[in-house]
Amino acid sequence: MLDEVKEILSTTLQLGDRVNDMDLDSALLGELPEFDSMAVVAVITAFEDNFDIVVEDDEISAETFETLGSLVAFAESKVS
Amino acid sequence: MKVVVTPSFIKSDNGQIFSINYHSPELTNNIGIIHFPAFAEEMNKSRHMAALQARKFAADGYSVTIVDLFGTGDSEGDFSNASWCIWLDNLTQIVEIMKANGVEKLIFWGTRLGSMLAMDLLNSYRKDVSLILLWQPVLKGDVALTQFLRLKIAAEMMSGEKSSTNGLKNKLNQNELIEVAGYQLNSDIANAMQNQHLFDKISANTPPIRILEIVSDVNKSISIASRKFIEKLHEKKIDILIDKVVGEQFWTTPEISLVDELLDKSSIIVNQFSKMR
């Protein structure tokens, strides 16, 4: 899941190879300049398309996007 | 092949509508290609690709027109006063001008939500349209609306407030304007999106449709949704095909991106159809 989420971040935010240096503790929201509201929507849309899930409004919270780890945990919880 | 680029303002019932025509004076067939633009910020981000493609089509002999719909781009009007009908009127006016200038056959080229506009305009020009080319079409308007409203929800999440998609849709239904990513969305546009499925607009009388979908890697397939969409239409013996191109989703990326393969494949498709006359 970590690799899949990294790949989604890499393509939707055009981060390229920068994702290779990221780990679960890497901060996203408030840290990565690319992580604005459009990025949040792009990532959610990519999650929905890739993992065939539906993300509800109340699941869109700042905590989910805080770190790569929290984002991966969110994806895992939706897919299982 | 030299391409002549002609910007113009067209007087419409709702104000001046801006459009750009691309054509090559040396080699001109009688086929006109009309671009049906993407929605809101997707339109802005896809302008560069659209312009590149228009030039490429024009160099092959077509007359191509890209229009800024009412309330968008360089056209007059406020986005908050836009409506699906006004947008269809704008596009109708463009088609009529092209026909008055000698175009006999039409190709409808839609990007994203523009695909819905293209299919709606088809009702007036079915006999004239030989091909419908769609770039990553929005298949379900309600999904596109939800994704658009999410921009507001995501922005509010960053500032600590909280809306819900249903809450926003309720406000729209009460004729309130909703500000999303700098765009004032009104209920007409929202309802038009909410109630449209591309599938419902396609019938046995529809001219051939060719879809190009962007995938991030050469090993990736087209999306499950697209595959199901095509399969259902093939069961009805509809002439529709989809192909993938590798690149970035340029209508949504933070930085402007170019997808050369999309330009190439679009030209190949269009030229194949022209030869079949």
- Tens-digit pLDDT profile for residues B3-19: 999 999 999 998 999 99
The reported pLDDT for the residue numbered B158 is: 77
Here the ipTM equals 0.73
Q: Do B181 and A37 touch (CB under 8 A)?
A: yes
All residues of chain A having their beta carbon less than 8 Å from the beta carbon of residue B257 are: 14
Q: Do A38 and B224 touch (CB under 8 A)?
A: no
Q: Report whether B50 contacts B66 (CB < 8 A).
A: yes
The reported pLDDT for the residue numbered B276 is: 58
Q: Do B181 and A34 touch (CB under 8 A)?
A: no
To the nearest whole Å, the CA of A12 is away from the closest chain B CA by 7
What's the mean pLDDT in B65-72?
Answer: 98
All residues of chain B having their beta carbon less than 8 Å from the beta carbon of residue A11 are: 216, 248
The reported pLDDT for the residue numbered B10 is: 96
- CB contact B146 to A (< 8 Å): no
Query: Which stretch of A6-20, A47-61, B116-130 has the lowest confidence by average pLDDT?
Result: A47-61
Q: Which helix (H) or strand (E) segment is A61 a member of?
A: none
Q: Do B151 and A41 touch (CB under 8 A)?
A: yes
Mean pLDDT of chain A, nearest integer: 88
What's the mean pLDDT in B179-189?
Answer: 94
Q: Do B223 and A49 touch (CB under 8 A)?
A: yes
- CB contact B203 to A (< 8 Å): no
User: In terms of CA atoms, which chain B residue is nearest residue A51?
Assistant: B224
The reported pLDDT for the residue numbered B272 is: 94
DSSP-derived 3-state class of residue A67? strand
pLDDT at B243 over 90: yes
How big is the A-B interface in CB pairs under 8 Å? 58
User: In terms of CA atoms, which chain B residue is nearest residue A66?
Assistant: B158
To the nearest whole Å, the CA of A40 is away from the closest chain B CA by 6
Mean pLDDT of chain B, nearest integer: 94
To the nearest whole Å, the CA of B38 is away from the closest chain A CA by 16
Q: Do A40 and B147 touch (CB under 8 A)?
A: no
The reported pLDDT for the residue numbered B275 is: 78
What's the mean pLDDT in B145-155?
Answer: 89
To the nearest whole Å, the CA of A59 is away from the closest chain B CA by 11
Mutation choice for B interface testing from A38, A43, A64, A70 by most B CBs within 10 A:
A38
pLDDT band at B277, cuts 50/70/90? very low
pLDDT at B165 over 50: yes
Higher pLDDT, B273 or B131: B131
The reported pLDDT for the residue numbered B232 is: 96
For residue range B30-51, what is the model confidence (pLDDT) as tens digits? 999 999 999 999 999 999 999 9
The reported pLDDT for the residue numbered A57 is: 83
For residue range A23-53, what is the model confidence (pLDDT) as tens digits? 999 999 888 888 888 889 889 988 887 777 8
